[in-house]
Structure 1
Amino acid sequence: MAEHGAHITAASGAEDRPSIFEVVAQDSLMAAVRPALQHVAKVLAQAHPGRCGFLWRWFDEIFAGLALLLQQHHLATASASFSEHFYGLKRVVAGRAAAPRPAGAGLPGPQLRRSLALLVLLPYLRVKLEKLVAGLREDDEYSIRPPASRRRRLQRAVLAAYPAAAAACRGWLLLQRLRYALGAARSHCPLLALAGVRLARLTARDLRGLRGPGPPPRPPASIQEKVQSAIKKAIGGLAVSISTGLSVGVFFLQFLDWWYSSENQETIKSLTTLPTPPPPVHLDYNSDPSLLPKLKTVCPLCRKTRVNDTALATSGYVFCYRCVYNYVRSHQTCPITGYATEVQHLVKLYSPEN
């Protein structure tokens, strides 16, 4: 068995086909970058909700824009995504019998557009779908609609079908990776086949082409060409800056992903156990102390005696459950302090009489 495993890992060394460990490692790189950047955006939004709150509210769109810029630059200049180029891999047009295309020339137009859509658009849609399903599950738990209503039945059908569909996709991906490890498939991921490419190792010729200065560019003749050239240089410089920053900080990002993983939460709690901080003494976020009612039993939102008391864990203020649930779900902030928050931060309070 050990000899067979060694044969699998070393078999790809004699050709341009990367090993299963290389392709799995490059897949996990971008998966580690997203949660780390998301945590940075959350910390900035909590520290400065007025100036940086948009980073948390629009994180998916901001990350998709940065990923689009980064991946397009690497696909056009290195024939690879950011993570593939980081691990010394490139994308080769599948099934082409002609002379291999140098990595520095970039992917051809059709393969570049399909790769870009699968690298950027598909993960964005997947994140939005996961949030939609989470919202439907949350609405199903707290909804007051009758169980026999059409919308409730459709909602429960989606909630029942989504886990099965997600499990089927993960099983398909695992099967494809096993087939690739055993040499029965040309690519480890079905998305590469949809893009019409396969992964290969960079050759010495590719490395010389990527490091070389290349031919001098033709000077622009018209004002329109000068403007287009300046825009391309600015976008290219921004993409290079993002790529360099991620390349340098990739270890730090992976460390953050491990540090804030669910398996490490118990260790974090034991190392960062601190006393409960005092409540905020002033309000810096588009509100004033007059928003707080004089009576402690009155909800700050509806200005009536609280019903079904619920505290917001991020700020400590107490509201009616229905009032604060609807507000947090719409604004993702505390209505008093403006701290970034989520529905899972609502804590039901029980009086001694109950």
Structure 2
Amino acid sequence: MAEAASVRQNLQNVPSIFEISAAETLDNLIYPALSKIFDYFGLRLDFKLWGSLRVREEFSPLITWILQYLYLRKRASSFGESFYGLQRTATATGELLTRQQQFTSATLLTILPYVERKLRSRSARHEGTYAWESHLISLFHAYNASKAVHTFLYLIKYASSHSPLFRALRLTLRYPSEPPMEDKWTYVFLKGLEVLAFFLQFIQWWYSNDQRRKMGGTLQNPEPMQHPELPHELKDTLPKNGECPVCLLKLQTPTACAVSGYVYCWKCIVTHLKEKGTCPVTSYPITIDDLVRIYES
């Protein structure tokens, strides 16, 4: 009877879908925030593997996995779930995670968003994608649709878990019946990480495209980087009005760079962006999201 009462009490501690959504949002901020930090300090793997294949990767996924596993090991919850006072428990018994469930949960929390983000990034840059990549994107679409259905069923209290992954792992989110037992230094360390959640949100806001577009109208375009004085013969070869600064021909499919304000041919700027990742004129770092197509009225 005591075990049944414990299970019944655990099933009553059901978080709302808004808290679960907020926890997922916070978990999804870890990777992009770490990426911005590592990019700023230049911490990235960059080496030639074989042939023309070159590995350009970052440490963000590894650090994200370590952080999530630490929280799952110490508090039976992810970083975002711990911040909102939630805990992962077995759906049937209400027991905490096993070691295998901790490892699997940390891996899924890291790998799935990372792979989906990479695939969508390649597709947005119009890079050549393989057939298996298109199939993977379709699978992610199917997974997101299934997750929406699970969320609705959870909202009307028809399902015990809000996600197909939780259902597959036979886990659910609950409020803990008692605070986690941990030593002083672990508590201080994890609390310090939770304080950083505010800075993660701030970094995400700062680099969001919507905020950049809102601020763009009040900022002056940056001046090109200073170059030595050129001879008159070379000055005559510089692009004129209506010409692309890359190919020096008449603009075809004019595309503006939101960071610098300069206009290029779409094909020229995309090709240059894949190789350099900068604005050709100002050398400021840009991405495919900074390009804006210009339509003639």
* TM-score, L = length of structure 1: 0.58
Alignment of 1:262-281 (within 5 A): 267-269=214-216, 273-281=218-226
Tell me which residue corresponds to 1:81: 78
Aligned-pair RMSD on alpha carbons?
A: 4.7
1:135 partnered with 2:130: no
Aligned partner of 1:341 among 268, 277, 286:
286
Alpha-carbon distance in 2 for matches of 1:26, 1:127: 19
| Change in CA separation of 1:202 and 1:274 when aligned onto 2, cut-off 3 Å | same
Q: CA deviation at 1:68?
A: 0.8
Q: CA deviation at 1:12?
A: 8.4
* Structure with larger Rg: 1
Alpha-carbon distance in 1 for matches of 2:290, 2:221: 16
Alignment of 1:39-78 (within 5 A): 40-41=36-37, 45=40, 52=42, 54=44, 61-78=58-75
Aligned partner of 1:306 among 228, 234, 249:
249
Alpha-carbon distance in 1 for matches of 2:199, 2:134: 38
| Change in CA separation of 1:22 and 1:289 when aligned onto 2, cut-off 3 Å | farther
Alpha-carbon distance in 1 for matches of 2:265, 2:215: 32
Q: CA deviation at 1:338?
A: 3.8
Tell me which residue corresponds to 1:189: 163
Tell me which residue corresponds to 2:182: 210
Alpha-carbon distance in 2 for matches of 1:347, 1:193: 42
For structure 1, list consecutive stretches of 5 or more residues without a partner in the other structure: 1-10, 46-50, 102-106, 141-150, 214-235
Aligned partner of 2:115 among 108, 122, 125:
125
3-state SS of 1:281 partner: coil
3-state SS of 1:210 partner: coil
Alpha-carbon distance in 2 for matches of 1:118, 1:22: 20
Kindly provide the amino acid, as one letter, of the partner of residue 152 in structure 2: L
Q: Whose strand fraction is larger, Structure 1's or Structure 2's?
A: 2
Alpha-carbon distance in 2 for matches of 1:13, 1:96: 9
Kindly provide the amino acid, as one letter, of the partner of residue 109 in structure 1: R
Tell me which residue corresponds to 2:238: 296
Aligned partner of 2:271 among 319, 326, 329:
326
Q: CA deviation at 1:125?
A: 1.0
Percentage of matched positions with identical amino acids? 29
Tell me which residue corresponds to 1:230: none
Kindly provide the amino acid, as one letter, of the partner of residue 274 in structure 1: L
Q: CA deviation at 1:277?
A: 3.5
CA displacement, residues 66-106 of structure 1 (integer Å, 9 cap, x when unaligned): 21110111112221111111122222234348xx45xxxxx
Alpha-carbon distance in 1 for matches of 2:44, 2:256: 21
Query: Is the contact between residue 111 and residue 197 of structure 1 (CA under 8 Å) also seen in structure 2?
Result: no
For structure 2, list consecutive stretches of 5 or more residues without a partner in the other structure: 1-7, 46-54
* TM-score, L = length of structure 2: 0.68
Alpha-carbon distance in 1 for matches of 2:280, 2:212: 28
Tell me which residue corresponds to 2:16: 19
Alpha-carbon distance in 2 for matches of 1:171, 1:165: 9
Tell me which residue corresponds to 1:170: 144
Q: Whose helix fraction is larger, Structure 1's or Structure 2's?
A: 1
